[in-house]
């Protein structure tokens, strides 16, 4: 049986360790949670499929099961190695998650989604030759936020950097500016501008200094209709059971270390509200800055800076050098910050200030966080 594109394993794991041939045209394949091929003894997902013996491509209906309880995870059909026909995905609690259809490998027609609780989540229309249409959307409380293609779409993500995405839906299409914001400090991480569902421009602020990274090739925000199992193509080998066990132990130790870590972000020399009022007043009084500040409603400008472990601000950066120079002076005049700390040990931080025009009024948002990567000794408790 051929396996085109199979990526080599860095370990001694072999393809034969991860596949059971049932008949000449069918097989069971075993994967980890990320759909890398692994031995059955430590697999998370089992795929049952018919395959073309010459090419190794899937044929007919393919089903994925959770090994833990043998429950159905996904069901999809293939024709000549390409997804073709109905698609179905389930949560680990057996609740139906997604239904849709593929035509020549592309998601097409009506796609419906549910929360793990069984409540409806959203309905999308795809593959009509135009942009995706958002027909309906319900938030996690059961409140319908998009009805008949009109309203607001939102999404929250958790993890080490929890975020919130939101944007307007008009006539079923993404419209205006959609944003991904940090739920910790409310700062914009990604922004995308749409007109009648077409992406005009995207901007990524995370991991950039001053000027954002711009793109137009594909949307990073909003709903997506994809088959989670598609990452297996091309096939790739994962880790052996022994390596998985060692990695799990290492990750558990790291989680325990992080859980016991006390992290405090940098803080301004006075309460944030007062600090921002003083900043805007100083900015208003600063000479010859009008042309460098946002003039159009909704327009924004980002200023970033470093905060050292003594609370001193340096390396102020903005798309406008004039604005950066002004903030260098203004921030110095407003006083020394209280530095961030990890386990009581002062560490460097990052400052982000966003200026935005709303109804002819200039407003600001302020956020600061501990800078990563942390200094090598930051996770050690400070000496008493």
Most confident of 14-18, 322-326, 331-335, 375-379: 331-335
Q: What tens digit of pLDDT does each residue of 106-118 get?
A: 999 999 999 999 9
Residue holding tokens 């200023």?
303
Q: What tens digit of pLDDT does each residue of 230-259 get?
A: 877 778 899 999 999 999 999 898 888 777
58, pLDDT greater than 70 = yes
Average pLDDT over residues 117-126: 96
User: What distance in Å separates the CA atoms of residue 378 and residue 380, rounded to the nearest whole number?
Assistant: 6
Report the pLDDT value the prediction gives residue 253, as an integer from 0 to 100: 86
Cβ density class 30-67: b for 16+ within 10 Å, e for less: bbbeebbbbbeebbbbbbebebeeeebbbbeebebbbb
Average pLDDT over residues 331-337: 95
The rounded percent of the chain whose pLDDT value lies above 90 is 53
Tell me the average pLDDT of the chain. 86
Q: How many angstroms separate the first and last alpha carbons of the chain?
A: 65
Number of H helices, E strands in the chain: 3, 25
Average pLDDT over residues 169-192: 89
Report the pLDDT value the prediction gives residue 4, as an integer from 0 to 100: 47
Across the strands, what pairs with 123?
112, 136
User: What one-character-per-residue DSSP string does 191-221 give?
Assistant: EEEEETTEEEEEEE-TT--SSPEEE-SS--S
Model confidence band, residue 164 (pLDDT cutoffs 50, 70, 90): very high
Q: Which of these, 88, 92, 25, lies nearest to 60 by C-alpha position? A: 25
Give the global pTM.
Answer: 0.69
Q: Which pair of tokens denotes residue 248?
A: 């799990």
207, pLDDT greater than 70 = no
Average pLDDT over residues 126-135: 88
291, pLDDT greater than 70 = no
Residue holding tokens 């990052």?
350
171, pLDDT greater than 90 = yes
What's the distance, CA 310 to chain centroid?
Answer: 33
Give the H or E element holding residue 276.
helix 272-285
Q: Are 331 and 268 in contact (CB under 8 A)?
A: no
User: What distance in Å separates the CA atoms of residue 145 and residue 170, rounded to the nearest whole number?
Assistant: 12
Model confidence band, residue 382 (pLDDT cutoffs 50, 70, 90): low
Average pLDDT over residues 279-283: 88
Sequence-distant (≥ 6) Cβ neighbours of residue 123 within 8 angstroms: 110, 111, 112, 113, 134, 135, 136, 137
Average pLDDT over residues 76-84: 91
Strand order in the sheet with 340-342: 263-264, 340-342, 345-347
User: What distance in Å separates the CA atoms of residue 182 and residue 185, rounded to the nearest whole number?
Assistant: 6
Report the pLDDT value the prediction gives residue 354, as an integer from 0 to 100: 86
Model confidence band, residue 90 (pLDDT cutoffs 50, 70, 90): very high
Model confidence band, residue 10 (pLDDT cutoffs 50, 70, 90): very low
Report the pLDDT value the prediction gives residue 208, as an integer from 0 to 100: 47
Report the pLDDT value the prediction gives residue 206, as an integer from 0 to 100: 60
25, pLDDT greater than 70 = yes
């Amino acid at each position: 049986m051929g396996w085109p594109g199979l990526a080599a394993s860095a370990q001694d794991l072999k393809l034969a360790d991860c596949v059971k041939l049932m008949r000449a045209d069918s097989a069971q394949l075993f994967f980890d949670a990320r759909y890398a091929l692994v031995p059955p003894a430590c697999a998370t997902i089992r795929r049952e499929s018919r395959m073309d013996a010459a090419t190794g491509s899937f044929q007919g209906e393919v089903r994925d099961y959770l090994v833990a309880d043998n429950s159905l995870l996904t069901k999809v059909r293939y024709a000549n190695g390409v997804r073709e026909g109905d698609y179905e995905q389930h949560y680990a609690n057996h609740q139906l998650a997604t239904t849709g259809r593929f035509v020549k490998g592309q998601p097409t027609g009506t796609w419906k989604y549910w929360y793990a609780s069984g409540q409806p989540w959203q309905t999308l229309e795809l593959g009509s030759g135009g942009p995706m249409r958002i027909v309906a959307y319900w938030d996690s409380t059961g409140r319908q936020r998009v009805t008949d293609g009109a309203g607001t779409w939102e999404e929250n993500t958790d993890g080490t950097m929890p975020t919130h995405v939101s944007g307007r839906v008009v006539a079923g299409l993404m419209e205006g500016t959609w944003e991904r914001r940090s739920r910790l400090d409310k700062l914009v991480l990604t922004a995308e501008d749409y007109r009648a569902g077409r992406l005009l421009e995207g901007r990524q602020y995370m991991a950039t200094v001053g000027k954002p990274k711009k793109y137009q090739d594909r949307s990073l925000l909003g709903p997506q209709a994809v088959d989670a199992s598609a990452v297996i193509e091309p096939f790739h080998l994962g880790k052996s059971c022994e390596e998985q066990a060692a990695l799990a132990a290492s990750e558990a130790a790291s989680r325990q270390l992080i859980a016991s870590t006390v992290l405090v972000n940098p803080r301004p020399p006075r309460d944030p509200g007062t600090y921002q009022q003083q900043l805007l007043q100083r900015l208003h009084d600063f000479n010859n800055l009008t042309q460098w500040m946002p003039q159009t409603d909704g327009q924004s400008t980002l200023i970033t800076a470093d905060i050292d472990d003594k609370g001193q601000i340096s390396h102020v950066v903005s798309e406008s050098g004039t604005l950066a120079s002004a903030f260098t002076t203004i921030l110095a005049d407003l006083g020394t910050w209280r530095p961030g700390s990890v386990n009581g040990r002062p560490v460097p931080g990052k400052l982000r200030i966003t200026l935005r025009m709303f109804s002819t009024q200039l407003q600001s948002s302020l956020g600061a966080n501990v800078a990563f990567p942390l200094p090598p000794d930051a996770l050690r408790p400070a000496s008493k």
